[in-house]
Chain A
């Protein structure tokens, strides 16, 4: 759509700017303020320059959390996006079952995050949980509170359970927007189901899928509550993702300087990666 140039449109945006600025800029300034100061706990602060940033960037602990975070995010993206597309393709397009499927699939999205964590905790407990019991009865020694591999398996399974539906909903919305005429044309051309997927469905879903990737990327990078309730970051530090580590430093040890510096670096990493996704998406749209 060609838009008219109108600077007065700023007035429409003002309420949003005021609200978000209050919520984003003031707290962000607080964080910046802490990140360059040192305190000895008596509420007096000294200028500290960039030492916290240097500390964080050189700290093994931060590198480990970041690596775990990246592993987690890319693993769940690799599972959830293809799985979501496959499920959306297999869903009925019309009839009685459509709303039933949609409602049931949306259920995990609307459960508070700590309930999701608690639910999976009691579901996967090796002695009294259904999943833990099932796996152990297959002869596999499974205990997510003790073994690192099991903890990761449970964490990723939980996230797949929790968020694949969002991908399904978005992909499905892309699919139902394809007019029937496209399929009829493909039929006349004698296209197989792979060709239909590759040349009709996938291009039509591209936009919603980029949104799905972007949303899943941002949210999984910020994930805190579910892993915290499920594993508490353990066993050891093996599932301590970035957010969990940050809250430990900020609210647990009350090391405000390092925590603030870490927040800013953390935020910048997300910002940078999201910006890459965003520009790729917008470039496609303009073509």
Chain B
């Protein structure tokens, strides 16, 4: 088992990369080549699909919109989750366990259930088709997750740290920002990673809450796929580009992911 164990992850990773390879290779093909013949790699290599995306604002603004609301969502979710997680990890208070479970239930809420009421709610408060609307809507499932992850990390920090700081004359806000936050930096990294991830990949709510001004890239893709026939090359190029921000984020938190989970409860 020991000697040949590298084989299992290798086969698994190959399995993971195969569809991605197919997508990327398709993005360098012309639509004619995709539909006309079966080729394992692009026979006549073209950048036309990418050119279209980078010159047409309805395309590239989709990426900008997505990145804007994902960033707002990540900052917002982690910011409100931090004090709450601290309360859950340090204190016992009335209804704390019920509250924690109630928060988790929101993580279970199917987006399909909320799509229509969200549309009505955000139209009523005048936020429809803004980045803020999508960012707020995504806090529904990201805040509970962030609280859950951060609570795990904070419970791993001994309480003596808090007490020592108070003895040393730190006020609570100063202790929280100067000492506590740096201690759980890994946890914040992991929480940000998950918030980014779930907000970036979600489509149903993002699509329902936007029309033009804040339309996410995922929604642009579905619209274009249906309106201009089925331009597979273009679709593949747009899809390939959506992998890049995620890959960046993973690269930055790569050391935290494994160690981070282990330290924390998640």
Known A13-B83, A114-B203: A130·B250 in contact at CB below 8 Å: no
The reply to whether B80 and A15 contact each other, CB–CB distance below 8 Å, is yes
Number of A residues near B (Cβ < 8 Å) is 96
Known A6-B92, A123-B22, A267-B110: A102·B258 in contact at CB below 8 Å: yes
- Whether, in the assembled complex, A129 has its beta carbon less than 8 Å from a beta carbon of chain B, the answer is yes
CB-contact partner of B26 in A3, A107, A122, A133, under 8 A: A122
The reply to whether B6 and A6 contact each other, CB–CB distance below 8 Å, is no
- Whether, in the assembled complex, B86 has its beta carbon less than 8 Å from a beta carbon of chain A, the answer is yes
Chain B minimum-CB-distance residue to A33: B117
Known A28-B117, A90-B9: A270·B200 in contact at CB below 8 Å: no
Interface string of B79-102 (1 = CB under 8 A from A): 011011011111111101001010
Contacts of A133 in B (CB 8 A): 38
Contacts of A182 in B (CB 8 A): none
Flag the segment in B43-51, B177-185, B218-226 that touches A. B218-226
CB-contact partner of A222 in B89, B108, B155, B257, under 8 A: B108
- Whether, in the assembled complex, B192 has its beta carbon less than 8 Å from a beta carbon of chain A, the answer is no
The prevalent SS among residues of A at the interface is helix
A-B contact pairs, 25 of them (CB 8 A): A13-B87, A16-B143, A19-B80, A20-B139, A24-B106, A26-B121, A90-B6, A99-B254, A108-B20, A110-B200, A115-B239, A119-B239, A122-B235, A129-B22, A169-B257, A172-B258, A173-B262, A211-B265, A222-B111, A224-B110, A242-B110, A247-B204, A266-B110, A267-B109, A267-B113
- Whether, in the assembled complex, A186 has its beta carbon less than 8 Å from a beta carbon of chain B, the answer is no
Contacts of B250 in A (CB 8 A): 102-103, 106-107, 110
Q: How large is the interface on B (under 10, 10 to 19, 20 to 34, 35 or more residues)?
A: 35 or more
- Whether, in the assembled complex, A237 has its beta carbon less than 8 Å from a beta carbon of chain B, the answer is no
CB-contact partner of B218 in A112, A250, A278, under 8 A: A112
How far, in whole Å, are A132 and B146 apart by their CA atoms in the complex?
40
